[in-house]
Amino acid sequence: MRTMTYVGALNEALHQLLEDDENVILIGQGVTSPWYVGQSCTGLIERFGDRRVIDTPVSENAVTGAAVGAALAGLRPILEHPRLDFMYYAMDPIANHAANWHYMFGDQLSVPLTIWGIVNRGGEQGAQHSQSTHAMYAHLPGLKVVMPSTPFDVKGLLRSCVYENNPVLFVDDRWLYPIKGDVPEDHYSVPIGKGTVRRTGKDVTIVATSFLVHEAAKAAEALAAEGIDVELVDPLTVKPLDSGLIISSVKKTRRLVVVDGGWRSYGAASEIMATIGESAAVGSLAAPMKRITLPDSPAPASRALERYYFKNSEDITREVRKVVGGSK
Question: Residue 3 burial (CB < 10 Å; 0-12/13-18/19+)?
Answer: exposed
Q: How many CB atoms lie within 10 A of CB 238?
A: 26
Closest among 307, 281, 310 to 295, alpha carbons compared: 310
Query: Are 151 and 9 a contacting pair, CB within 8 Å?
Result: yes
Strands 53-55 and 24-28: parallel
Question: Residue 104 burial (CB < 10 Å; 0-12/13-18/19+)?
Answer: exposed
Query: Are 122 and 175 a contacting pair, CB within 8 Å?
Result: yes
- In whole angstroms, give the CA distance from residue 3 to residue 121: 26
From the list 129, 139, 187, 214, the catalytic residue is 129
The reply to whether 129 belongs to the active site is yes
Q: Strand 53-55's sheet: what is its strand order?
A: 53-55, 24-28, 76-81, 114-119, 168-173, 144-146, 237-239
Task: Give, in order, the Cα–Cα distances in Å from 47 to each of 14, 43, 44, 192.
Answer: 11, 6, 5, 29
Secondary structure of residue 88 in the 3-state scheme: helix
Any residues with CB less than 8 A from the CB of 162 and at least 6 apart, and which? Answer: 17, 21, 24, 76, 78, 112, 114
Q: What is the DSSP string of 42-53?
A: TTHHHHH-TTTE
Secondary structure of residue 281 in the 3-state scheme: helix
Any residues with CB less than 8 A from the CB of 325 and at least 6 apart, and which? Answer: none
User: Catalytic residue positions?
Assistant: 129
